[in-house]
Amino acid sequence: MHDIIQVFEVDLSPEEARALSADPRALEEALGTAVAADRVHLVDPVVLADIGLAAYLVEGEGARAEAVSVDKTRLDKVRKPVMLLLPGALTEPAALRVAPPLTHLGEYPLLEGRPAEDPIRTSSAEGLIAGTPPRADDPATDRRASGYVALIAVAVALVVALIVWLVAI
């Protein structure tokens, strides 16, 4: 179950579903196993009206389109909150026993190219990803470059003056 998204319908109001997803003990009771809270997402399909739950799973979560398309009609009819267990959410996947208020809607494999859950830390992404402050330009570098240009200009002027003096003699 490493590369699979588990999808559950939550037979509660959106507020109660949020409370359930935030309570590790209640989640463990409803799923029969401990769950990593940071790997649980709650989605309100009503908000996804134009997109649909099936398209959200494919486009937003990286599920394989061919796997989701089998359940597309059923998924798009869901109007109650939906809980997604992302890969790594279950500490003991074999112990999964779903109990009310959850109903298992399906499990969908992820595309292989999906990035890891850790944030990307590269120099090329610096300043573009939230949380990475952009580098400030050093004003001393600009002054130093201007100084070099002035020094080169003075040296060229001295060489020209020396050539003119030698020609005049």
**pLDDT number for residue 153:** 94
Average pLDDT, the chain: 84
**pLDDT number for residue 35:** 87
Q: What pLDDT digit, counting tens, does each position of 150-163 carry?
A: 999 999 999 999 99
* Residue 118 CB burial class (10 angstroms; 0-12, 13-18, ≥19): exposed
**pLDDT number for residue 1:** 43
Are 74 and 57 a contacting pair, CB within 8 Å?
no
Are 102 and 8 a contacting pair, CB within 8 Å?
yes
Span 123-145, average pLDDT: 66
Q: What pLDDT digit, counting tens, does each position of 115-125 carry?
A: 556 666 667 66
Q: Is the pLDDT of residue 112 over 80?
A: no
DSSP H or E segment with residue 150: helix 139-168
Both tokens of 76, joined, read 């798009």
